A and B are shown apart, each in its own frame.
Chain A
Amino acid sequence: MAMHTDHKRSDELPDVRVDNQEEVKMKKTVFLGALTIAGLAAGAAAAGTLDDVKARGTLNCGVTTGLVGFAAPDSNGEWNGFDVSVCRAVAAAALGDPTAVEFVPTTGKTRFTALASGEIDMLARNTTWTFSRDVDLKFEFVGINYYDGQGFMVPRDLGVSSAKELDGATVCIQTGTTTELNLADFFRANNISYEPVPIETNAEAQQQYLAGACDVYTTDASGLAATRATFENPGDHVLLPEIISKEPLGPLVRHGDNEWADIVRWTLNALITAEELGVTSTNIAELAAGTNNPEINRLLGTEGTLGEMLGLDAEWSKRAIMSGGNYGEIFAKHIGESTPIGLARGLNAQWTDGGLLYSPPFR
């Protein structure tokens, strides 16, 4: 409307002729900033994430605001953890430098906006792969790096031994997560009541739970174990036996840039396959010289052109595996049984060991 009016008027107003079409194009860059309020403007510019990352020289990776074992800065301010290792592996594969990662802490609420708006290139933050997130929110889950389920933690002195005994309890829950919906479903299905206390971050939940403002803390069982490990007296708190949901956690990227999604997906698969094939950070240098196992050779780039197909060099997966070890090494180092978090492999063992980890073949 406005532009039409202006065109009609422009012959009457010779001194102030403005071609609005031109004007609009010129102002495009100015307005782009304003438009990211909706967090969607940059979604259109999704294609070419790899080029963006290479041009920038760093990978922007969304992680939690701090969950020990999964993603938390250590005393030197270095981010460490299970999810962080995935970011580092991708950075090593794409940029050749596992430290070229800018970690962006996100809450359960801000993570999707951050990814959709292009503020981060990938999200590795205990995020459950669900239908609506994949389809409706337009994200691409590239795989599963942790098979989890929602559990409950209660103080031992409450004497509760089953989640079904929690009728009337006050429950701390991180808002904006799938756990919030599972919790409502679980209590409704068992016809018992509860009082939700919505919490923004894990640290806040921990504080509320320890102060007794809630009787129960519920989140993914791995998160509960990680949180409990940081308590002064972890033994005073028990995890209830019920696991009330499936929570397949994995890294995700924006919909629509399949090349970038492939890089993240196959970096994760490389870590998993490396464990399956017995490639570790200690023997990789030796194996990379060439072996008589063609699968290992293809994985490490001494045979075939898999790296080239991804738009990377031949050694991409070697660097990814060297950045923190294979999947098993990463698991053992950050959240395994020898760490304070003490998680068993369980479902997260290789398929050959009775677990669910099963990477598609490298060929």
Chain B
Amino acid sequence: MTTLTDPPQGSFKVSMLLNDTRYRSYTFQFIALILLIAAFAYLGSNLAYNLAEAGLNISYGFLGEPAGYDINQRLIEYTSQSSHWDATIVGVLNTLLVAFLACVTATILGVIAGVLRLSNNWLISKLMSIYVEAFRNVPVLIWIIIIFTVITAVLPGARAYLGEDPDVDLTLGMFAFTNRGIYIPAPVLGSGGMAVVVILLASIMAMFAYRSYAKKLLFNTGRLLPMAWPSVAILILPAVIAFYVLGQPITLDTPDPLANRFNLRGGIQIGAPLIALWFALAIYTGAFIAENVRAGIQAVSKGQTEAAASLGLRPNRVMNLVVLPQALRVIIPPLISQYLNITKNSSLAIAVGYADITATLGGITLNQTGRAIESVLLLMLFYLVISLSISTVMNLYNRAVSLKER
């Protein structure tokens, strides 16, 4: 625009917009921009026109109305009388939950498989190749359905655990594996229970502080402090002592087979849809991450490994201290996009009835209110915000570990 109205030379002629290479690209970009804006304006006005023609309007008022439906998996308080907005938030939290679990699991799986694929052991490296090729070349939806079907078909029904004389006893008296999900005991905090949790958190921080101190000491003075047993001691001892000193304030709420004739009651239920989605996303994306890790490791020059070995480092130390830190710089950028893939693929939850945001806002709410455009726009906005947030955090981390050129 400025170039058109405010040319650098006084002798500007209109024909130069096409003939002069300095301006030609601006001219075409300007035309393209106008056409683009016109196209979007047309789409928008067409939408508004057709909505008006059908007697409809764009309104987000429905978000405040009672949703009227129940959700089986929820992290916050929700009843059928809660609003559509609450249902949306339940969905967002469920999306974040499964995305977080799957990202962590996929990373662990991916790093292990990626490192092992480079193993000198023929069997191990071939097994890992099979894992990578089998899992990343089958659509993730298929994996979700396969795992879900296996859970439903193989595990016993909930009723097998019920009654005075059940067909199946609780594993260790506290775990139940049914085709509706896994039941685990839930910790119940009594008075003073919070103190134990705080002490445990403090010990975790203390452990990391000790490890970084030991590392610093090693780098500065060459003195090697013992690592393993002090870490474990710092982590566990204070919390265990506090637990007993305060009179065992934390108890376990184990699943109760007698409370209800249909289902186990009590404890934490991890529903079959969540498990299926979580594992399917983890093993599927884990296969991609394994390839990223392998590529990252192979990108580190062989000379580094040889130099480290000639200094007398053992193979696992070569990997941990020399190769992986350098490989991380190559691994992290593609890892970000894998995390984004997990988050977006979690919308396949709908296949197994997991109540993620696509199922609540983009599914039931959309259907019951008929507000398709509003719901889908809001849905897009949520995914955009979640993805951009993940991307930002990971980019900050990438900047922290990337090669600092001075």
A residues contacting B by CB (< 8 A) are 1-3, 5-6, 9, 12-16, 18, 20, 23-24, 27, 31, 34-35, 38-41, 43-44, 108-109, 112-113, 116, 132-133, 136-138, 158, 166-170, 175-176, 180-181, 183-185, 187-188, 194-200, 208, 211-215, 255-256
CA distance A23 to B262 in the complex (A): 65
Beyond known contacts A15-B15, A35-B43: 5 more, CB 8 A cutoff: A12-B14, A18-B31, A20-B34, A180-B69, A184-B68
The answer to whether B180 and A43 touch across the interface, beta carbons within 8 angstroms, is: no
The chain B residue sitting closest to A32, CB to CB, is B46
Stretch at the interface among B51-59, B237-245, B311-319: B51-59
User: Quick check: A34 and B38 within 8 Å, CB to CB?
Assistant: no
Q: Closest Cβ of chain B: how far from A13's Cβ, in Å?
A: 7
Determine whether the beta carbon of A198 is less than 8 Å from that of B359. Answer: yes
Interchain CB contact under 8 A, B42 and A27: yes
Cβ-defined contact, A188 with B31, below 8 A = no
Q: Distance (Å) between the CB of A97 and the closest chain B CB?
A: 31
CB-based nearest A residue for B80: A184
A6 touches B373 (CB 8 A): no
Alpha-carbon separation in the docked complex, A166 to B263 (Å)? 11
Instruction: Please state if A5 and B34 are interface contacts (CB–CB under 8 Å).
Output: yes
Contact A44-B263, Cβ < 8 Å, known A13-B14, A170-B158, A194-B70: no
Tell me, rounded to whole Å, the shortest Cβ–Cβ distance linking A82 to chain B.
Answer: 24
With A and B bound together, what is the CA distance between A43 and B158 in angstroms?
48
- Supposing A108-B367, A168-B263, A184-B80 touch, asked if A6 and B34 sit within 8 A by C-beta, the answer is yes
Q: In whole angstroms, what is the CA distance A27 to B35 when docked?
A: 11
B residues near A (Cβ < 8 Å) are: 4, 14-15, 17-18, 27, 31, 34-35, 37-39, 41-43, 46-47, 49-51, 53-56, 68-72, 79-81, 152-153, 157-159, 179-180, 259-263, 265, 272, 350, 353, 355, 359, 363-364, 367-368, 370, 372-373, 376
Kindly state the separation between the CA atoms of A167 and B39 in the bound complex, as whole angstroms: 56
Known: A2-B34, A3-B38. A44 touches B53 (CB 8 A): yes
In the bound complex, residues from chain A placing their C-beta under 8 Å from that of B372 are: 38-40, 113
Main SS class of interface, B: helix
Give Cα distance in the complex from A39 to B56, angstroms. 12
In angstroms, how far is the closest chain B Cβ from the Cβ of A161? 13
Contact B14 A14, beta carbon cutoff 8 Å: yes
Instruction: Check A213 against B272 for contact (C-beta < 8 Å).
Output: yes
What are 29 residue pairs bridging A and B, where the CB atoms are less than 8 Å apart in the complex? Answer: A3-B41, A5-B34, A9-B4, A15-B17, A16-B31, A27-B42, A34-B43, A40-B51, A41-B46, A109-B363, A112-B370, A167-B262, A168-B259, A168-B263, A170-B180, A175-B353, A175-B359, A180-B368, A183-B70, A184-B69, A184-B70, A185-B68, A188-B79, A195-B72, A195-B180, A197-B353, A198-B364, A199-B353, A214-B180
> Does B152 contact A16, Cβ atoms closer than 8 Å?
no
**Residue contact A109 to B367, C-beta cutoff 8 Å:** yes
Q: With a CB–CB cut-off of 8 A, which chain B residues contact A2?
A: 34, 37-38, 41
Complex contacts, B373 vs chain A, CB 8 Å: 38, 40
Which single member of B15, B50, B159, B370 contacts A136 (CB below 8 Å)?
Answer: B370
Residue numbers in B under 8 Å from A183 (CB-CB): 70
How far does the Cβ of B109 sit from chain A's closest Cβ, in whole Å? 27
- Closest B residue to A199 by beta carbon equals B353
Distance in Å from the Cβ of A240 to the closest Cβ of chain B? 14
Give the residue of B41, B262, B350 whose beta carbon is less than 8 angstroms from that of A168: B262
- Asked whether B368 lies within 8 Å of A176 as measured between CB atoms, the reply is yes
With A1-B41, A3-B38, A168-B263 in contact, do A44 and B179 touch (Cβ < 8 Å)? no
The 7 A-B pairs with the shortest beta carbon distances in the complex, nearest first, are A184-B80, A212-B157, A176-B367, A168-B260, A2-B37, A44-B53, A169-B262
Residues of A within 8 A of B4 (CB): 9, 12
Residue among A13, A199, A208, A212 facing the most chain B CB atoms (10 A cut-off):
A212
Chain A positions within 8 Å of B49 at CB level: 44
Q: How far is the CA of A68 from the CA of B62 in the complex (A)?
A: 36
CA–CA, A5 to B1, complex, Å?
A: 11
Contacts of B376 in A (CB 8 A): 38
Judging by beta carbons under 8 Å apart, are B71 and A196 in contact? yes
Give complex CA distance A16, B159 in Å: 76
User: Bound state CA distance, A98 and B41, in angstroms?
Assistant: 44
Residue of A nearest to B353 (CB): A198
Q: Are A40 and B370 in contact (CB under 8 A)?
A: no
Instruction: Report the bound CA distance from A184 to B367 in whole Å.
Output: 16
* Bound CA–CA A9/B39 (angstroms): 18
Cβ-defined contact, B54 with A43, below 8 A: yes
Task: Tell me how far the C-beta of B229 lies from the nearest C-beta in chain A, rounded to whole angstroms.
Answer: 46
Q: Judge whether B50 and A40 touch: CB under 8 Å.
A: yes
Whether A138 and B56, one on each chain, are in contact in the complex, defined by CB atoms closer than 8 angstroms, is yes
- On whether the beta carbons of A138 and B54 are closer than 8 Å, the reply is yes
Q: B82 → chain A, closest Cβ, in Å?
A: 11
B153 near A211 with CB under 8 A, answer yes
| Residues of chain B within 8 A of A34, CB atoms compared | 43
Docked Cα-Cα span, A14 to B79, in Å, equals 64
Residues in A with CB closer than 8 Å to B38 are: 2-3, 6, 20, 23-24
Chain A residue with the shortest CB-CB distance to B264: A168
Residues of the A chain whose Cβ atoms lie less than 8 Å from the Cβ of B46:
31, 35, 41
Please measure, in the bound complex, the distance between the C-alpha atom of A2 and the C-alpha atom of B43, giving whole angstroms.
Answer: 13
